[in-house]
Amino acid sequence: MKVAFVDNMRCPLCRGDLVVQSSPVAGVLVNGSVRCDCREYPVVDGILLMNPSMPLGHILALVKNGDVHDALSLALELPRSLPLKLVQGLWQGAPSALLENLPGANPMRLLAKLYPAGKGLSYWELALPYDAVQWEYMRQRFASDSFFATHTLLPLAASRRGPLLDLGCGFGHYSFLLGLQGGHTEHLCVDTEFLALLIARRFFAPHANFVQVNGDLPLPFKDGCFELVFGSDMLHYSRTKATTGAEIGRVLAVDGLAILPHTHNAARDNPCPGTPLTLAGYRRVFDGLNLAFFPEEQLVRQALAGEPLDTALEVDAATLEGSYAFAILASHRTAAWHNPILEQSDKSDHSARLVVNPVYQTAIEGDILTCHRRPLSKYYWDEYPASQAYFPEKLLFKRSELRDKGRQRELLQRFLLVQVPPMFVPPRPEEEWLVD
């Protein structure tokens, strides 16, 4: 946690200013605390915990005593240990193999994977012991319709260079992409789940600051301190949408822009809907802000065709109401997203790896790279039908084809090649063909 940004924060309960209580190293607070005039909040492994439903006092005591591993375990165990306790209570003598495979059953085992004595596991390998459907979704996010749609909006996000808030960052896939755009003076990742923030910090956005919040409370930031608020696949899961909308408007700078891709529509069925609103409902949530809505299907088509987003395009209400999800743009100033200076990323950041989309298993046979699409669950393809149609079951590439920079750019635009974080997957056969 960069201590300089703490000046832009305040307590979500009393609204008091926060003061750093511990000694930072090179301006960064890894383990310690910050406080207002009524309470103290722990910082554990660079993550500021501000959710009062957590045992913050116990975690803080462990941090101050130097027991960081135990503090991490306690922060992980409380929200994730219910399945283990439930099964133990209902099924006396349950097989240990079953208990070991329950989500969160053993936070110490998870910590051993996150913080090993030797070389760390990749995110892909870490995912294996946990909930199959959730981890499949998180592994294959670079192959989902929502990823395509969000990619269309990245140049618009890159047009804002001030502080960035990734609201509901999850495991950090989009924070990784936003980081590739570069140039933001500060990058804040916020989520309600501590495990998600741990994974985001370790695997996807190590350059960012991380704050765990309670989604029912106001955001712990001062007014107008973010030039860009980004929140993909987030708003339909908020339990207090009116508060969320008002808080986005409050922390957004006068010339700032909020980009909220993949926001589910209550008028359409969705395999994993959350509690979405209608078009009219979302307009009420952001009352007082200027808004633009784009249907996700349109953004997907533009992404796959390599076409830029026309931010001045007004989409008719019938088209929007028929879409299963929207991208929402919001600002204080009228049409702040019109005619921005768009800076398209060259997608060549040194902190990323270039691989064939991980939806494919790859193998080299002579001078040919063979790519077989992984067998994914029906649930995944039900949620992302366009992805199933888009990615063929088998692809073949010649070595000379993948070595060609022009061909690489074309495959990147088609998402058959993608950039992933350094520790996302184990080494892939094609990587030696994709580097200079």
State the average pLDDT over residues 392-417.
94
Backbone φ and ψ for 198, nearest 5 degrees, come out as -60, -45
The neighbouring-strand residues paired with 263 are 326
Domain 141-331 has CATH 3.40.50.10800: no
Handedness of CA 240, 204, 185, 337 (dihedral sign): negative
Task: Say what the pLDDT of residue 311 is.
Answer: 86
Q: Are 298 and 219 in contact (CB under 8 A)?
A: no
Task: Say what the pLDDT of residue 345 is.
Answer: 44
* Spatial distance between the Cα atoms of 162 and 169, rounded to a whole number of angstroms: 18
Q: Residue ranges per domain, the chain?
A: 3-115, 141-331, 353-434
Q: What is the mean pLDDT of the chain?
A: 87
pLDDT, tens digit, for every residue of 100-148?
Answer: 444 444 566 677 777 776 567 888 887 654 456 677 888 899 999 889 9
**Neighbouring C-beta atoms of residue 192, cutoff 10 Å:** 18
**Neighbouring C-beta atoms of residue 83, cutoff 10 Å:** 14
| Residue the block writes with tokens 């030039």 | 227
230 or 160, which is more confident? 230
* Spatial distance between the Cα atoms of 269 and 272, rounded to a whole number of angstroms: 9
Task: Say what the pLDDT of residue 191 is.
Answer: 96
Q: Over 80: is that where the pLDDT of 92 sits?
A: no
**Neighbouring C-beta atoms of residue 286, cutoff 10 Å:** 22
pLDDT, tens digit, for every residue of 289-300?
Answer: 999 999 999 999
Task: Say what the pLDDT of residue 321 is.
Answer: 93
What six digits make up the tokens of 392?
């063929």
What six digits make up the tokens of 103?
């989500």
* Spatial distance between the Cα atoms of 316 and 335, rounded to a whole number of angstroms: 17
Angle at 427 between CA 177 and CA 145, to 5 degrees: 35
Q: Over 70: is that where the pLDDT of 1 sits?
A: yes
pTM (two decimals): 0.90
Give counts: helices (H), strands (E), the chain. 19, 16
